[in-house]
C-alpha cells in the first residue's frame, strides 16, 4: 500500500482535469486492507481509471485507487483484480483461449468499474459475463461476495452505483466460453473481419478509436450522456417529426409490460447542432456528439457548464431529458 499527500489527480482522470486530493492511497493485489485510511469514511472516494469522472474542485479527503494486475483462470472462469485495466483483461482472455468479451475491447476503465458501470459496447455488456464480484464493504468493514443477481445490473447501472464509495471492488469473476462465436448483431460491426477473435478485437478497437479523441491529444470520458429511455408516446412523436432519427431499441419492462425506447443521445445532440462546438475550454467531439472533451486545459466547471447547456437545449428542442453517464464530483 502506498500513500501520497496533496497530490494532483491530473493523471488519474481521463479528462485530465488538474485538481488535487488531500491524500491518495494506492492498493495492490496482496496488500492487507487494515489501515487508518478506512476511518475516513464519508471523506473517501474510490476511483478506477478515472474514465468516468469530472472533478470540479480539489478533493478534501482520501482518494482510493487499486493498481496492478492479477488474473487467474479456473476452467471457464476468470477472476481478475479490480484495478486491472479492462482492455488488458480482454486481451488476456483471448491469449488464454477464452472468448466472449471481444466486443468490450478498448473500453477505458478498470475491471472494478466494469461492474459498477455495467460497461457495454456493440451489443455486449459486462453483466453478460460477470459471475460474481468480491468486495470490501467500507461501511460494515467486512469482505463479501455479490452474485450477478445481487448486483442488480441494468443499462450502465448496478447496485454499487447506488451506494457510491461504500464498496471497494477487489475482484471480479467472469464466465467465458471456449468457443468463439462472433457477436456481430450491432450495425457498426457489419463487414468487420472475424475469422479469429483477435481479428475481431482489433477491428472493433479501430472502429471505437475512430469516434473518440486520442487520449494523448484530448482528455474525455467516452460517452458523456446515457442514451435516454422514453415512453411510447414520446418515441412516436419524435419518429413522426424526425423520420431520419436512428432506429431505437425497444425494451419491454418486466413488471408493467409497457414498452420503452432507448434513443441515441449522440443523434439528439448532433441534430441540436452541438457537434464540434467549443464552449469555454470544453467541447463536443467533432466525430461523435456523445463525447465531451478537454479542448484546452479545461476545468470541471467548463465541462459541467457545457453539459448543462446541451441538456437544456435538447430538452427544449426534443422534450427529452439527458442524464450524464459521467459522475460530476
156 labelled catalytic = yes
Residue found under cell 488464454: 96
Distances (CA, A) of 234 to 108, 237, 244, 246, 272: 33, 5, 16, 15, 17
Minimal distance, residue 281 CB to ligand EPU, in Å: 21
> Interface residues with ligand EPU (CB under 6 A)?
121-122, 186, 188, 222-223, 226-227, 246, 264, 266-267, 270, 275, 288-290, 325
Distances (CA, A) of 214 to 19, 66, 84, 156, 208: 22, 24, 21, 23, 11
Q: Which is nearer to ligand EPU, 55 or 136 (CB)?
A: 55
Contact 318, 268 (CB under 8 A): yes
Minimal distance, residue 97 CB to ligand EPU, in Å: 25
- Rounded CA separation 106/91 (Å): 10
Minimal distance, residue 16 CB to ligand EPU, in Å: 16
Single out the residue of 136, 134, 133, 131 nearest to residue 167, CA to CA: 136
Minimal distance, residue 35 CB to ligand EPU, in Å: 33
Q: Which is nearer to ligand EPU, 126 or 133 (CB)?
A: 126
Contact 106, 209 (CB under 8 A): yes
240 labelled catalytic = no
Rg (CA), the chain: 20
CA atoms within 13 A on the CB side of 296: 4
114 labelled catalytic = no
Q: Which is nearer to ligand EPU, 136 or 160 (CB)?
A: 160
Of the candidates 51, 105, 220, 223, the residue annotated as catalytic is 223
CA angle, 289 then 185 then 250, to 5°: 65
Q: Are strands 59-66 and 44-47 parallel, antiparallel or unpaired?
A: parallel
Q: Which is nearer to ligand EPU, 37 or 122 (CB)?
A: 122
Minimal distance, residue 306 CB to ligand EPU, in Å: 15
Of the candidates 156, 158, 201, 220, the residue annotated as catalytic is 156
DSSP class of 229: E
Q: Which is nearer to ligand EPU, 44 or 200 (CB)?
A: 200
- Rounded CA separation 34/62 (Å): 15
Q: Which residues are catalytic?
A: 156, 223, 325
Amino acid at each position: 500500500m502506498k500513500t501520497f499527500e496533496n497530490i494532483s489527480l491530473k493523471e488519474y482522470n481521463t479528462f485530465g482535469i488538474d485538481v488535487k486530493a488531500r491524500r491518495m492511497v494506492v492498493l495492490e493485489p496482496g496488500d492487507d486492507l487494515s489501515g487508518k485510511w478506512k476511518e475516513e469514511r464519508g471523506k473517501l472516494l474510490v476511483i478506477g481509471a478515472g474514465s468516468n469522472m469530472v472533478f470540479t474542485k480539489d478533493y478534501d479527503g482520501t482518494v482510493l485507487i487499486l493498481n496492478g494486475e492479477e488474473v487467474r483462470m479456473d476452467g471457464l472462469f476468470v477472476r481478475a483484480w479490480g484495478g486491472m485495466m479492462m482492455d488488458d483483461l480482454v486481451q488476456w482472455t483471448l491469449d488464454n483461449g477464452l472468448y466472449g468479451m471481444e466486443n468490450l475491447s478498448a473500453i477505458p476503465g478498470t475491471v472494478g468499474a466494469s461492474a459498477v458501470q455495467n460497461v457495454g459496447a456493440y451489443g455486449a455488456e459486462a453483466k453478460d459475463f460477470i459471475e460474481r464480484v468480491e468486495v470490501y464493504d467500507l461501511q460494515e468493514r467486512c469482505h463479501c461476495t455479490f452474485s450477478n443477481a445481487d448486483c442488480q445490473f441494468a443499462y450502465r447501472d448496478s447496485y454499487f452505483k447506488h451506494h457510491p464509495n461504500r464498496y471497494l471492488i477487489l475482484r471480479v469473476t467472469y464466465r467465458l466460453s471456449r468457443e468463439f462465436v462472433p457477436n456481430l448483431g450491432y450495425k457498426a460491426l457489419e463487414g468487420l473481419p472475424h475469422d479469429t477473435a483477435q481479428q475481431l478485437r482489433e477491428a472493433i478497437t479501430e472502429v471505437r478509436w475512430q469516434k473518440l479523441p486520442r487520449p494523448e491529444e484530448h482528455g474525455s470520458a467516452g460517452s458523456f450522456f446515457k442514451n435516454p429511455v422514453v415512453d411510447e408516446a414520446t418515441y412516436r412523436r419524435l419518429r413522426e417529426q424526425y423520420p431520419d432519427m436512428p432506429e431505437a431499441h425497444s425494451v419491454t419492462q418486466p413488471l408493467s409490460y409497457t414498452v420503452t425506447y432507448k434513443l441515441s443521445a449522440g443523434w439528439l445532440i448532433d441534430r441540436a447542432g452541438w457537434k464540434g462546438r467549443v464552449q469555454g475550454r470544453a467541447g463536443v467531439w467533432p466525430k461523435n456528439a456523445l463525447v465531451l472533451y478537454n479542448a484546452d486545459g479545461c476545468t470541471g466547471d467548463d465541462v459541467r457548464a457545457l453539459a448543462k447547456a446541451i441538456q437544456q437545449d435538447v430538452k427544449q428542442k426534443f422534450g427529452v431529458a439527458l442524464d450524464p453517464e459521467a459522475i460530476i464530483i
